[in-house]
Structure 1
Amino acid sequence: MSEFDQEIRARVRDMTDDAALAGSAQAFLAQSIASKYSYNFHWLGRPIIQYPQDIVALQEIIWATRPDLIIETGIAHGGSLVLSASMLALLDLCDGASPKADGSGARRPRSVVGIDIDIRPHNRKAIEEHPLADRITLLQGSSIASDIVDAVRAEAAPFERVMVMLDSNHTHDHVLAELNAYADLVTPGCYCIVYDTVIEDLDADSFSNRPWGPGDNPRTAALAFLKSNPAFAADLDIDTRLQISVARHGYLKRL
């Protein structure tokens, strides 16, 4: 570990008990969620409905764990798919995985599988016309339907290192079903990221038109999953480093 990394670790350790910082972060989250702050950003031309802090965390995780395949539930405008595809393209470039001029020497390109129950035509068109489209496979259907799960497993079979990102229906039952369907595909040392666990920390009236809320959301599902799956643990150092994140207690690492 470099001296700089040791300094980071020490700062994060000190931040663990910083109640003022945690309170400020929570206040910003609550207000910014009400203002739809996360809808303001793009990645390589596609809207990405994520907080910049979680985007930074994701690129750190991908670079450190070097997955060959990323499985994402929930597509929206496709920005997260493009982010994952761009990071995987960089990994292939850095690993010398591009084919030689004669077509030899190439490994299977790292890829992304995106699943959504409703891929709107304009979003599908934009994703399929993106320069990174050849790394992205789109599957339309419920992420917990048996045919979709089977299709994802078939896509994952040729790859050695797999990570998963869950960001579709945010009810406890749905997220827990996704975890039970896909978590075993995650390679030891890689992550399953459960987004929008922050719902547990917000007021119930924030979700009056949604079937989820405090007590019924991705965090309650992640905690239930962890109780019966000791091969995974929440990486709480990420929560502390970010402070502002929609995935607190949702960065699950397979040990």
Structure 2
Amino acid sequence: MEQTQLKELQILCAKVRIDIFEMLVHCGQGHLGGAMSLVETMAVLYGKQLHVDPQDPHMEDRDKVVLSKGHAGPVWYATLAEKGFFPKDWLFTLNQGGTNLPSHPDRLKTPGVDMTTGSLGQGTSSAAGIATGQKLKGSNRYTYLIVGDGELNEGQCWEAFQYLANNKLNHCIVIIDDNKRQLDGYTKDVMNPFSISDKMKAFGFHTQVVKGDDLEAIDDAIETAKQVQNQAVCIVLDSTKGRSVKYFEDMKANHSVKFNNDEVIQEAKKAIAGYKAWLKEEQ
């Protein structure tokens, strides 16, 4: 990746994190942790990898994204807004009555959202179906399936993975956000996943593990996945829930955060100010 492009992605990440904090503080609550752990991945997808057109979100010949961990909608909305799919002021309607940005993504409401998700596990099957349809049409476009590690408690995920592997649907790139935590605590304590990468390899996937905050590593992994033939592909993100702000990384209940007291709000505003100061220096 060229340094100029890397800098552009770093700037996009900072803007997306500002958007996430500002919309959640405005809303008063929201799924912060699992949104923040995906910022770099979304930046690489929408800043470099995806074949999409913000001016024509329903373009027939496009790549598709399925955010199976639908509670991470804020990171998707922020990224889509920054890339021009819809006005940024929509972000401040998050989860409000009549909004186009519901708590979990809805393909009938939000430009750029290809699949409605939120009932965990079901996005995996949807992505497998989309990838199958693309293959039957002879399309070379990609479907990106983003799954949470806690979501892997759902058996439906493994049925979908077995289907993807059996049918060698290498144009469905599975990205697993292994941020080690879920709604009720650490994944190892709720239901130990052991080695997710070993499981995916056992299911027949060409599997890579990368740091979830490393833009270049994520991009390289996607490029490598695109070179794999006749085998399903998977990228496991070794990520951190609440990534980039230590206060929220350390927060015990950072899956969904309530911005209802001075301390939490001030920490969010401090983070926003820090990102804005960095952007001022870089731009």
Return the TM-score normalized by structure 2. Answer: 0.41
Flag the structure with more relative contact order, 1 or 2, with Cα contacts below 8 A and sequence separation at least 6. Answer: 2
